[in-house]
Structure 1
Amino acid sequence: MTKQNTLAIGLMTFAMFLGAGNIIFPPFLGLQAGTQYFPAMLGFLVTAVGLPALTLIVMGRLSHSQQLTAALPKPMATGFWVLLFTAIGPAFGMPRAVTVAYEMGIAPFASNDLLLPFSLVFVTVTLLLAFQRGKLVDYIGKVMTPLLVLLLAVLAISAVVSPISPMTLPSAAYQHQAVTQGLIQGYMTMDAIAAVGFGWVIIKTIQDKGATSTNGLFTSTVKVTLIYAALMSACYLAMAYVGATSSAVASDATNGGEILTRYVANLFGLQGQLLLAIIIVMACLTTTIGLTNACAEYYQQTFNAPFSITATIVCALTGLLANFGLDQILQISLPVILVLCPVAIALVITALVVKPASSQRAIFVAAVSVTLVFGSIDTLHILGLIPAQWESTLTDFLPLYAAHASWLLPCLTTLLFSFLANVSLGNRSKPVASTPAK
């Protein structure tokens, strides 16, 4: 694969990940971290960029996205993929992108409620660009992403050259545990689960550009992932710095979108608000295009469903659900995503050390099952559904419960013991060589 194609696919990957949430989340973290900006961002980048990057590399090593679940029983594997693509696609990820694009890109300039016509136009544009599968890299990687990076660079450079205010003291949570808080917040972006979904599009695109051998695909995936990781890290650092230096105008802000709106309005006035609106709408559009392709690619390869029909249904459902409001979308879909995220990471970790194959089914099923149990506990914790009388007990006796990652150690322990047992059984089954007679 040529260097130009590698760069273009790397830019496309960055753009697909760069949704509105990725832009508006870091400023709030930066505002809370204040002078603890650097340690907080160190932790944040490990989980917000490191986990998705690891996922993409593992997917490239497998040479086909569906191999990630090859060792699981077919009903379990199919159920995982269907739930994943439904959750990150028309049930949650895409409607959220449409709603955020409207709330931050259109609503500030409109006197009437225009969500319905906006969502219709937005999903129509998404569908039209998703149909151009062969030109996806040209549209996103060579046109939209460079423009998006340029717009973000203007905002970031302005913040660095002329910050509105100095960094303030960190909030209580970041005073002594800035790295830990950064790790938690980075994990909560749940980009690792998006990486599993986007892997379908990214790997297919790399193969279409000529990297068909196993080694070639893996090498190209690593290069593409490094481009994504570098750009996403720079974006996160810049947006968090904006938040860290925004206390003069946004000390009482409750979310990153509010911080960015006040910041750009203070620096650029109306022109700044227009700049922010363009950034948000473009970021959401690239994400919905990528998710539409990922969903349609999966249903085409798994169920032989026509790409055009599946993509149309996905976009139609997205436009419909976007008009029900973000709160309702979150209420229905968030629990599923919160459970799927640790399961997806567990699959990636297992595939990193054990080759997915039917002979390794017991290891994969054990790791997924244990993760599902403890991941469900984390989900109930995040949603505030754990009974108060259980909180102190779980905090004291369940490692990483406070970090919403109580599934990690049980998963790793299960993986280790399953792997050792598998090796032991394998050694026992080997025939003992007979000693030749003298």
Structure 2
Amino acid sequence: MKGRELAAVGFMTFALFLGAGNLIFPPLMAQQAGENWLSAIAGFLITAVGLPALTLIVLGKLPSIDRLTSALPTWMDRGFWILILTTIGPAFALPRAVTVAYEMGIKPFSSGDGLFLFSILFCALTLVLAIKPGKLINYIGRIMTPALIAMLGLLTVFALFNPLGSPSKATDIYQSAPVVNGLIQGYMTLDAIAAVVFGWVIINTIRTTSSQDKETSFRDTLIIVGIYAALMALCYLSMGYLGATSSNIAPNASNGGEILAAYAAGQFGAFGQILLASITLIACLTTTVGITTANAEYYKNTYGINVKLSAIVVTFLTATISNVGLETIIQVSLPVILILCPIAIALILSVIFIPKASEPKQRCASMGQTMVVLISGVFGTLDALNILGKLPDFVSDTATHYLPLFPDNMSWLMPSLVTMALVRITRQFMASKQPLFG
């Protein structure tokens, strides 16, 4: 790729990840972290930027995205992708993006309830941009993302040179362990699972735009991931500093949206409201386009379904669900996402730590990788039930005493790593014994 193309795809990658949720996470965390906000953000960057970047690099190394699950039984392979694309798509993330875009981008300037009309128009625009995935670089990488970066840059410059307050005293959890709590908050953005979904768009774009040479294509992938990581880290740092200095204008805020709204109004007045609305609308639109395109790409590659038909179904479901009670949809979908996130990360780690010796021409299920998925799924379910407050007290107390990282909602990690280590040791042992039986 040429320099401009690399920059455009890197910008597109950044914009796909930068939804409204990513903007409102860091300000609230940094406000609570107070004088320790930089330590908290450092931990946050490791999991909120590092994990997605690692996921994209691993996907870029595979011959095709679906090879991530090709060593699983067919039912598990297809089930994983359908669940992950549906929950991150029309069942959860897409309706949430539409609703947030309306609440922060339109509602402050209108009276009455205009969500129904807005959802139709917003999903129609998403459909128009998604049915031509080859144009995504032009739509997002060269047009929308530079505008988004410019507006975020304006907020950042004013936050640095004209802060509306100073960092306050950290809350208890951020006094004792700011980095650890930042790590947990970054993990809870669920961007690692979003990276698996966006991989369909990003890696396919790189391979259709880049050289056919695998080494050159992978080098381009590394550069693009580097651009994404740098831009996202700068965004999180600036939003974090903004939140850390917001205690005077938005004390005891319940969410990051309140902090951003108060800051924009306090810094720019009415123009600030328009600026924040524009940032939110563009951020949500790039996310909905990316997720819709990912769904369409998967169903085309796996089942041969026409891209336009898939995109129409996804956007229709999104517009419908956006208007039938998002809270109910979240209650149903969030447990599934919380379970799928550990599975997705475990799959990425298994590709690194227990890679297959070669890529078979025919599908060949791996007992080792299947065990990793099952173990991460079981303990991920335990974490999900704990997050949702559905575990009986005696189970929660027992798990707190005996399961590492259970209080941090990451009890799946150690069992998954132990399983991978055992699989690797077993493979090496069997390989060393092979000549005796060969």
Distance in 1 between residues matched to 2:328 and 2:216, nearest whole Å: 44
Distance in 2 between residues matched to 1:428 and 1:156, nearest whole Å: 60
Distance in 2 between residues matched to 1:37 and 1:354, nearest whole Å: 37
Query: What is the match of residue 429 of structure 1?
Result: 434
CA deviation map 1:96-125 (0-9, x unaligned): 100000011111111110000000110000
Shift of 1:157: 0.9
Long gaps (5+) in structure 1: 434-438
Query: What is the match of residue 86 of structure 2?
Result: 86
Inter-CA distance 359–124: structure 2 relative to 1 (3 Å threshold):
closer
Shift of 1:211: 2.9
Distance in 1 between residues matched to 2:211 and 2:293, nearest whole Å: 20
Query: What is the match of residue 189 of structure 2?
Result: 189
Matched, 1:251 2:274: no
Distance in 2 between residues matched to 1:256 and 1:208, nearest whole Å: 38
Shift of 1:431: 4.7
Shift of 1:393: 1.9
Identity %: 48
CA contact (8 A) 1:61 1:217 kept: no
The secondary structure found in structure 2 opposite 1:157 is helix
Matched, 1:53 2:58: no
Matches within 5 A, 1:58-137: 58-137=58-137
Long gaps (5+) in structure 2: none
Query: What is the match of residue 221 of structure 1?
Result: 221
Matches within 5 A, 1:36-435: 36-356=36-356, 361-431=366-436
The secondary structure found in structure 1 opposite 2:407 is coil
CA contact (8 A) 2:69 2:77 kept: yes
Shift of 1:359: 5.7
CA contact (8 A) 1:68 1:351 kept: yes
Shift of 1:199: 0.4
CA deviation map 1:6-28 (0-9, x unaligned): 11101000000000000111110
TM-score between both structures, scaled by the size of structure 1: 0.97
Shift of 1:75: 1.0
The secondary structure found in structure 2 opposite 1:248 is coil
Q: When the two structures are aligned, how many residues end up with a matched partner?
A: 433
CA contact (8 A) 2:165 2:245 kept: yes
CA deviation map 1:141-189 (0-9, x unaligned): 0110000000000011111111111100011110111011000000000
CA contact (8 A) 2:70 2:364 kept: no
Shift of 1:208: 1.2
Distance in 2 between residues matched to 1:40 and 1:285, nearest whole Å: 29
Distance in 2 between residues matched to 1:153 and 1:159, nearest whole Å: 10
Counterpart AA for 1:387: P
Distance in 2 between residues matched to 1:382 and 1:360, nearest whole Å: 32
Shift of 1:4: 1.3
TM-score between both structures, scaled by the size of structure 2: 0.97
CA contact (8 A) 2:368 2:423 kept: yes
The secondary structure found in structure 1 opposite 2:408 is coil
Counterpart AA for 1:389: F
Shift of 1:130: 0.9
Distance in 2 between residues matched to 1:300 and 1:211, nearest whole Å: 23
The secondary structure found in structure 2 opposite 1:305 is coil
Counterpart AA for 2:19: G
Distance in 2 between residues matched to 1:3 and 1:14, nearest whole Å: 16
